[in-house]
Amino acid sequence: MAKLGRVIIEALIYHYGRDEVLRRLSHPFWFQSFGAVMGMDWHSSGITTSVLGALKRGLAPIEHELGLYVCGGRGRHSRQTPMELARVGERTGLDGDALARSSRLVAKVDSAAIQDGYDLYLHGFVVSAEGRWCVVQQGMNETRREARRYHWLSENLTSFLDSPHSAIEGLPHGQVLNLADARAASSRAAGIELLAQGPDRVINVLKRYRDPGNTTLDLFADPAEPPHLHMPGHHDVRATDVELRRLHGTLAAAAERAPTDFADVLLTPGVGGRTVASLAFVAEVIHGAPSRFSDPARFSLAHGGKDGHPFPVPLKVYDETLRVLKSAVSQAKLGNDETLAALRRLDGQARVLEQSASGPSFEQLVELERSRSADWDGRTV
């Protein structure tokens, strides 16, 4: 995952720049699809930890070259984020103290200003050489054993307390106190006023807590908010989790473009149509618009899942996908972007073909993958 994540980010920076990487990571649908195409359990809360951990390990050796730094992590690693950002500042000339303050503020907002029953345990801070950043952090409700993910993006961020999130993903349960909502400005002002008036005034207000006029803001109430990423409770990938039309388009594009665009690739021993199919999913993760990621389960068809759903990770296919993509990025850095351009055309062709392509059912596709699992060194963890 660290190796594949690294080369996908390299390709993204090559095509679209560092800012686009930050935008993608702050988009929950893309983030989920990114983890799925790397072979992580497609719906697990662990996808957040795994993706951020893989990027931190994978990008560390080339972070200065890429101008992209991944800080923080889970548990004690999250608490080291300010110190890591200070080190980034020392090496790059960025204001490390300001970045550390942003990190602390983001964590405080999601742990104190938003009271939703989820305790933060993971904080990932990704910063570019230009000083722009995104944050992905996650909280856990131990009673429900459910996770909630919080996404932030510094681009167009005007205030840490004016509906600052790019997304908050998690099932709504009960009422949520969200003092970071733009509509809560008067509540925040009243709180500051109460503090200034001393403890007696606060006690009197608390005694009137059950005043019928007292309401809390629902974090999920605004109909203008974008769609929420709903992850079902089942571990297996089902046909209802995948948009089959798009899946057929991806597979059809791989079958039609491979002989022309990937002739040299296909002549390499061990590389065949199955590898090109995986590359088609990777190409969409690199080039797809946000609307393309409403069904992240579809990307688990690229390399399966380490939990065995929808099928064990085919290590031989995974390694070949990684090798081809790594070679394409290396060639592009030397001025030859033919293979990377072919991947881009592969993604475009998939969108055209999904309007008319047909193929086997989802169940048949999964059964075919499982029947070949031993040949492709299928593994689970």
Query: Which tens digits make up the pLDDT trace of 309-359?
Result: 999 999 999 999 999 999 999 999 989 999 899 999 999 999 899 989 898
Whether the upstream peptide bond of residue 296 has omega within 30° of 0, thus cis, is no
The structure tokens listed for 187 are 């509540």
Give the residue among 68, 32, 71 at the shortest CA–CA distance from 51: 32
**What's at 18, amino acid-wise?**
R
In angstroms, the CA 229 to CA 238 distance is 16
pLDDT greater than 60 at residue 12: yes
Helix, strand or coil for residue 369? helix
What beta strand segments (E) does 16-145 contain? 68-74, 114-115, 119-128, 133-141
Q: What is the pLDDT, as a whole number, of residue 5?
A: 96
**pTM above the 0.85 mark?**
yes
pLDDT greater than 90 at residue 37: yes
pLDDT in tens, 91-123: 999 999 999 999 999 999 999 999 999 999 999
Report, as an integer, the average pLDDT of 23-33.
95
Nearest-5° Cα angle at 133, 222 to 76: 95
In angstroms, the CA 188 to CA 274 distance is 56
Q: Is 206 exposed, middle or buried (0-12, 13-18, 19+ CB in 10 A)?
A: exposed
The answer to whether 279 and 325 are in contact (CB under 8 A) is: yes
pLDDT greater than 90 at residue 152: yes
pLDDT greater than 70 at residue 271: no
Among the residue ranges 155-164, 248-257, 262-271, the one predicted with the least confidence is 262-271
The answer to whether 231 and 43 are in contact (CB under 8 A) is: yes
Break the chain into its structural domains and give their ranges: 2-207, 239-379
Q: What is the pLDDT, as a whole number, of residue 313?
A: 95
In angstroms, the CA 305 to CA 380 distance is 7
